[in-house]
Chains A and B, each alone.
Chain A
């Protein structure tokens, strides 16, 4: 009986000390993981130019409504604007310069309906054109 008790208590001590070792192993592993995470946060992984281009492209906003409007309305608006805002229609030097810059913007954004509407507004205010 006493022999058995002694044996049991020895086993308990052995298992207790082995638990203790594994606990320390887990703590060390935990510390290593935390250390690696902190290091990664300080020095984020280097992105290649390709990955950076991809990320930048994905973060840009796309205005689908403007695309739909541009597909069917931009051509007629562009045709109207390019006639009414042509610099040759303005003899005054100041207005001619303004018309010139607006005309260049119109040509640059001929398929962007939203931008063309903004330019139309600008032409109405600065050049006094009535549409």
Chain B
């Protein structure tokens, strides 16, 4: 029992570190894509509150949203926001990683206001019962 609790504590810290690492890697790639000219706008990933209705068995207690926000450059259309979301959801490895690290909501937002799209991650990853 002690070993189990200890492993859970270590696992929790490891997951925190991996969550931060995913966000950092995404932001670094987005910055590079913007600088090189692949992306017309600078994307930035961050952790948001998420939607409690999208809860699944791996979800964290708090901050379960993976939010991608478009900064500077030009304003993205709804189709472009949806395309970014679909690329992430269709990448099986990334979608699974997001789910197991406790995220349950994917949000893609524009620069201003609350305009954006939101997806429930468990719909795109086959989770057992």
Name A residues whose Cβ lies closer than 8 Å to a Cβ of B.
49-50, 53-54, 56-58, 60-62, 64-75, 111-112
Contact = CB atoms under 8 A, between A and B. Distances in A.
Instruction: Tell me the interface secondary structure of chain A in the complex.
Output: helix
A71 B84 contact: yes
B20 interface: no
B33 A68 contact: yes
Contacts of B96: 56-57, 60
A67 B99 contact: no
Nearest to B37: A72
B33 A69 contact: yes
A65 B90 CA distance: 15
Given A49-B128, A111-B83, A111-B90, A68 B97 contact: no
Contacts of A74: 83, 87
A60 B97 contact: yes
Given A49-B128, A71-B87, A111-B83, A60 B39 contact: no
B30 A57 contact: no
Contacts of A49: 128
B53 interface: no
A54 B26 contact: no
